[in-house]
Every structure is written in C-alpha cells, then in structure tokens.
Structure 1
Amino acid sequence: MPNLLFPLLLLSSFLMQNSNRLYDFTPDSTDEWEVEDDVVMGGQSEGHFTVTDDGHGRFYGHVSLANDGGFSSIERVLEGDADVSGEKAFTVRLKGDGKSYTLRVQSKRDQEFMHEATFPTSGEWQTVTIPFGIMEAKHHGEPVDVPEFDGGPVHKLQFMIGNGKEQDFVVLLDWIGVASR
C-alpha cells in the first residue's frame, strides 16, 4: 500500500487548499489523545504523547517485537461524530522521521473494525493525502469484508506505527483533516 500512496503525496499541495480540519493539535491537546500500545496483547512497545511549546502533537517511543508485539498508537474519540460526507480523502500535516505510519478511522462506537492506510514520511514537514478508496477495513490487523470507507461519520481517529520492525520513532503532528478532491 505505501507504494500507491507515494505518488499521491505529490497532490498534497493542491489538496491542502481544499482541506477541512477534523482536529488541530494545540497546547491543550495532551489530555485529548490516549496512548494504546501492544501491551494490551502482551507486547512491550512503549509510546508517549506530549505537545510541544509551539502546539504540535509529539508522538514518540519504541516499538518492540517481544512477546508478539509490534505497534504503538495514539487515539482520540471525537466529541460528536464528524460527518465527512461529500469528502474524498483524509489529510495529515506532519513531520515524520522517514518511517511509515498508519492513519485509522472508526465510523461508529460499536464498530469492531477500522479503515486504515499506511504512508511513508519524508523527515520534513509534509501534508499526506489518503484517498478514502485506498483505505482497508481491518480488525486486529486482519482484513474484514465490508464496504470501503466512502465518507459519513468518523467516531475515532487513531495514528499508529507498526512496521514489523523493532525501532525508535518520533513524529510531530500539526492537524488531521479531510479534502473534497
């Protein structure tokens, strides 16, 4: 999937002009995002979330493969589901560390799967565009046979790293949005 997303990154500046924000990271964001690591399943990864003095979310830590682990994530339930009907893609403004990350969305509170897409980061500030049509439905990493995400409600946002590698990571997050093109 990352190979499909790389050419889409070239469209980012155009799509950014048509982007609506779902979430802006601010100095008050610290308590709004919850870390969820693989320790919920016996793993030993350790992620952290803070906010920088200039208001960027900073997600960092270490992914461990011990005990069948291998991921770290931050998540936030939106206050009142966001309606992204009529939109075509998610956008994320971030400064990664050259590693690949995954954006996941859950439409409904009781839904047991999330739609997700993994994308590379460049090490510089960039706006990544993730068309709804390339997001895959998964439950605990396994594909789920449901319709593709095509807009509608967004109940939860999750941002994660889980590349099958033991590694340290750090990414700065500015905002998460949606785009109409």
Structure 2
Amino acid sequence: MKLPALAVALLSGVASSSTLLDFTPGEPTWYARNDTVMGGVSSSQVRVGGGVLLFTGQVRLENNGGFSGIRSNPGRFDLSGFSSLKLRVKGDGKRYALQLGTSTRNGVTYRNEFGTVAGQWIEVTIPLNSLRATRSGERVAGPPLDPSRVIFFGLTIGNNRAERFALEVDWIKGQ
C-alpha cells in the first residue's frame, strides 16, 4: 500500500517541502459540509479522480444560508515542519477559503481566503501564520493555529452571493 507523502515524512520524522495531498488512492476521503447544518439550502459535491479534487455546487441564500464546503475525514497531519501551504488550483474567478481544523468538537477552524482565475491553473501560497480562527465563517478570539495538531483540511465558498461554483485542486504542498 502506497503511503501519502505526508505520512512518509511523519513516519521518518522529517518534514520538508513536500506534497501533502495529491488526490491519489490511500489519501483521506472528503465529504460535503454545507449551510444545511444551519437550515440553509446550498449544495455541493466533491469528487476525487485522476489525481484531482473537484469541488462543485451552488451557494444559495435562502433560510440564512450562504456557504458550501468540503472537508477531509479526520486524520493526523503534523504540519509543524512547514511555514506555508501551496495549492495548485483551477477555479472560476471566485474566492475560496482554505480551512484547517484541530478539533471536530468546538466548531473552530483556521482559514484564509484565496482568489482564482477563471479556467486557468494557478499556484496559491497561504502562510500558516495567516490562518485565523473562525467559527461559522466569522472570526473568533482564539489561540493561533498549532500546525502540529491539524486533523482535517477543508475548502469553502461563501461570498454572500447566490452562485454556482467549480474549483479543481491538483495538489497541496507544504513549504
């Protein structure tokens, strides 16, 4: 069984610039987490295939909704050897947010937004120290992200607009 690059780095005790997720078999599975948890009606789908993650759907504003998101199943991702994450993405010109979570119980995630260029692959760098504590998309007081305690990755869109969206992710690397 092939271990993801991150698992190999963690098992060897060495974390260097490496591919964390390249959406191949053996990596965490992903699931949708939309505003339906609060009564909204937005929808999204996530599909992993051919080494690419595809996140698509529609954000709707009815019932105080307004976001769609996906998360990886919980695991252990010690990112303490990295100062930033780099993503290779192809989007639709909309803004998305990368989220990292250190708990599945308190609702707090650490996030920062990034832009996309419609129909073009681009690389986006997000410094880990730029991720801010949020709950339900709103900033909250809290300690800074502890990169050694990350248990899931997430992507979300919530631009206060009813809109269809599509984002592809080729890989996520630690730097």
Task: Give TM class, smaller chain.
Answer: 0.7 to 0.9
Classify the secondary structure of the residue corresponding to 2:150.
strand
1:125 paired residue number: 121
**Inter-CA distance 98–27: structure 2 relative to 1 (3 Å threshold):** farther
Q: Displacement of 1:111 after TM fit?
A: 4.2
> Quick one: distance in 2 between partners of 1:148 and 1:93?
25
2:70 paired residue number: 74
Match of 2:29 among 24, 27, 32: 32
In the TM superposition, 1:45-56 aligns within 5 A as 45-52=42-49, 54-56=50-52
Q: Deviations over 1:116-154 (max 9, x none)?
A: 001101121111110112211011122221222252221
Q: Deviations over 1:12-52 (max 9, x none)?
A: xxxxxx742222213677x8110111111111111011234
In the TM superposition, 1:90-109 aligns within 5 A as 90-109=85-104
Match of 1:141 among 137, 141, 149: 137
> Quick one: distance in 1 between partners of 2:104 and 2:36?
22
Classify the secondary structure of the residue corresponding to 2:33.
strand
Counterpart contact for 2:84–2:128, Cα < 8 Å? yes
Which amino acid counterpart does residue 146 of structure 1 have in structure 2? Answer: G
Identity among equivalent pairs (%)? 36
Structure 2 gap ranges (5+): 1-15
User: Size of the alignment, in residue pairs?
Assistant: 159
Q: Displacement of 1:175 after TM fit?
A: 1.4
Higher strand share: 1
> Quick one: distance in 1 between partners of 2:123 and 2:152?
20
Structure 1 gap ranges (5+): 1-17
Match of 1:88 among 83, 91, 99: 83
1:3 paired residue number: none
Q: RMSD of the alignment, in Å?
A: 2.0
**2:159 is aligned with 1:159:** no
> Quick one: distance in 1 between partners of 2:48 and 2:147?
29
2:19 paired residue number: 21
